[in-house]
């Protein structure tokens, strides 16, 4: 069409320069940038058609071309125009090109238009479409997702408090098939759950997900290498998809969902504006009814519904859903503490002690906690509830800690019995004297060391003396052994320490000095 308009403009200029300016054929050829032969041919055709200058006002380009280039008698009937709406739909199928469609067009219309004119018909049609539809979307290739700026509301039936919730919208590129639901917020759990339900609604997953740069989808926006949220990328991988975020401040990258969000606001939120909803389930039920009607509505420019296009284009091309649903798993970057534990949600989980001070990644679901170091899983734990609890695996401890973890009151008393029964009674008394037995472990370790230094026989004797003194502790035993009192027979020690009567002295008043209280009344 552009070539036709250019040729008609040149022809009008040739007629004006010839009849009005009286230029030679060569001068006209230089001015119009055509060959002298073309000038002669155009003027000859105008003369045979009885056209001069100025041309009639009602003679447009099509009529002028028909007058100058009439069809020969007996020539074929006008060529059939290609069905440009059909071309637009077919181009969304994987591997379909304009050249292939032109060849199929020629099979049905052997005298049809040549390839350049065929493409021109389609480009003129595509130029009249909305800017968001100019992109050629392959079937099952892309899904665009976003939250609506306008939000629905729910009412608390007990208090009457009005709460604004979010409207999640997803749309398939080829068929414009919509999905929408209300979520509590734009946080990661709601974002992932909405995607899972969207895939189940479509009964398949696309190859590419195109989100906006919200924090739940993209942790670090970048024009060239955006950092996708680890959980979001893992969810996409579970369904065989990949995440390619739109560029920041480039709405055309996700123009399809921008239009779909607008449709959701007009044909869902606006339709439900006068209704009151007392819960998210009730609201989503109403949204589902509006969504069914919207997808069944005919699109004016294409003459088919989104549902029909979905069944014809996207549904056969979508990836099948995996056997199991994706289970939400969040990721957190942690540094291993000096006690070889990582903190997660106010609870603590052990890792191999060799990773102390290292940065690790914790992947946690509602039931499990997994820890990864350099993309390799090093441990897993059952997730703890509450706060301040520890989950420690024996093999993660250093050897010295492993030995300590194997201690128990019964084991320590059994060791003490190897030294002697009195030592066992002293150890049991030390453990029993503490509010918690583990608080006495250190004292028992000290007693065990005394046995290694002084021998089992001396320790047994020292324990017998400490038991007689009713002072059973590490400090007492250490003092007895240091002073060598364990070698002194108990009878001699008692005589040496027995109480002797005091000698008479004037400063000693005696019991008679004190008057009973009743005598003072």
Taking only Cα atoms into account, the Rg of the chain, rounded to an integer number of angstroms, comes to 46
Evaluate the omega torsion of the peptide bond into residue 54 and state whether it is cis, within 30 degrees of 0. Answer: yes
Q: CB within 8 A of 51, min separation 6: which ones? A: 15, 64, 67, 68
What percent of the chain stands above pLDDT 70?
83
Nearest to 140 by CA among 306, 318, 322, 320: 318
pLDDT band at 198 (very low <50, low <70, confident <90, very high): very high
Would you say residue 500 has pLDDT above 70?
Answer: no
pLDDT band at 491 (very low <50, low <70, confident <90, very high): low
According to CATH, the topology of domain 142-317 is Nucleotidyltransferase; domain 5 (3.30.420)
User: Would you call 513 exposed, middle or buried from its count of C-beta atoms within 10 A (0-12, 13-18, 19+)?
Assistant: exposed
Would you say residue 73 has pLDDT above 50?
Answer: yes
Other Cβ atoms closer than 10 A to 202: 21
Would you say residue 521 has pLDDT above 50?
Answer: no
Query: How many degrees, rounded to 5, is the angle at CA 204 between CA 200 and CA 209?
Result: 95
The SS3 call for residue 89 is helix
pLDDT at site 6: 65
User: Would you call 218 exposed, middle or buried from its count of C-beta atoms within 10 A (0-12, 13-18, 19+)?
Assistant: buried
What percent of the chain stands above pLDDT 90?
6
Helix (H) or strand (E) holding 181: strand 178-183
User: Average of pLDDT values for 146-161?
Assistant: 87
* In contact, 186 and 302? CB cutoff 8 Å: no
pLDDT digits (tens, 9 = 90+) for 291-333: 998 888 888 777 788 898 888 888 888 999 998 888 888 888 8
The SS3 call for residue 34 is coil
pLDDT digits (tens, 9 = 90+) for 27-53: 888 888 888 888 888 888 888 888 888
Q: What value does the mean pLDDT of the chain take?
A: 81
Would you say residue 9 has pLDDT above 70?
Answer: yes
Would you say residue 263 has pLDDT above 50?
Answer: yes
* In contact, 118 and 125? CB cutoff 8 Å: no
């Amino acid at each position: 069409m552009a070539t036709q308009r250019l040729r008609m403009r040149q022809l009008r200029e040739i007629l004006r320069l010839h009849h009005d300016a009286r230029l030679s054929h060569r001068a006209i050829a230089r001015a119009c940038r055509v060959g002298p032969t073309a000038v002669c041919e155009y003027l000859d055709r105008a003369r045979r058609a009885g056209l001069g200058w100025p041309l009639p006002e009602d003679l447009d380009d099509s009529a002028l071309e028909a007058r100058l280039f009439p069809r020969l008698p007996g020539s074929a009937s006008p060529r059939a125009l290609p069905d440009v709406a059909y071309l637009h739909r077919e181009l969304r199928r994987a591997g379909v090109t304009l050249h292939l469609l032109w060849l199929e067009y020629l099979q049905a219309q052997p005298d049809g238009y040549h390839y350049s004119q065929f493409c021109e018909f389609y480009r003129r049609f595509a130029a009249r479409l909305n800017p968001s539809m100019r992109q050629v979307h392959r079937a099952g290739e892309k899904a665009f997702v976003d939250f609506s700026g306008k939000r629905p509301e729910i009412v608390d039936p007990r208090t009457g408090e009005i709460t604004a919730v979010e409207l999640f919208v997803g749309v398939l590129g080829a068929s414009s098939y919509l999905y929408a639901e209300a979520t509590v917020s734009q946080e990661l759990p709601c974002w992932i759950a909405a995607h899972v339900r969207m895939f189940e609604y479509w009964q398949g997953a696309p190859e590419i997900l195109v989100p906006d740069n919200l924090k739940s989808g993209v942790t670090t926006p970048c024009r060239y290498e955006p950092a996708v949220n680890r959980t979001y990328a893992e969810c996409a991988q579970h369904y065989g998809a990949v995440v390619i975020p739109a560029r920041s401040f480039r709405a055309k990258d996700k123009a399809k969902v921008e239009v779909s969000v607008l449709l959701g606001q007009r044909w869902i939120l606006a339709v439900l504006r006068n209704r009151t909803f007392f819960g998210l389930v009730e609201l989503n039920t109403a949204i589902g009814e509006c969504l069914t009607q919207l997808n069944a509505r005919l699109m004016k420019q294409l003459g088919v519904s989104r549902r029909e296009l979905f069944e014809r284009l996207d549904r056969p091309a979508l990836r099948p859903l995996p056997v199991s649903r994706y289970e939400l798993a969040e990721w957190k970057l942690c540094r291993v503490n000096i006690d070889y534990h990582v903190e997660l949600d106010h609870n603590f989980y052990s890792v191999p002690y060799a990773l102390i001070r290292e940065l690790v990644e914790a992947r946690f679901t509602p039931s499990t906690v997994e820890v990864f170091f350099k993309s390799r899983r090093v441990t897993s734990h059952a997730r703890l509830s509450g706060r301040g609890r520890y989950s420690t695996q024996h093999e993660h401890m250093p050897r010295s800690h492993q030995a300590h973890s194997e201690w128990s009151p019964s084991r320590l008393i059994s060791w003490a019995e190897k030294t002697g029964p009195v030592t066992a009674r002293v150890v049991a008394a030390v453990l029993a004297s503490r509010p918690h037995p583990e608080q006495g472990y250190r004292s028992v370790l000290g007693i065990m060391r005394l046995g290694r230094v002084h021998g089992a026989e001396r320790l047994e004797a020292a324990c017998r003396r400490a038991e007689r003194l009713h002072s059973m502790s590490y400090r007492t035993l250490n003092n007895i052994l240091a002073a060598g009192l364990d070698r002194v027979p108990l009878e001699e020690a008692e005589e040496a320490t027995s109480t002797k009567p005091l000698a008479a002295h004037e400063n000693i008043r005696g019991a008679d000095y004190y008057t009973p209280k009743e005598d003072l009344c």
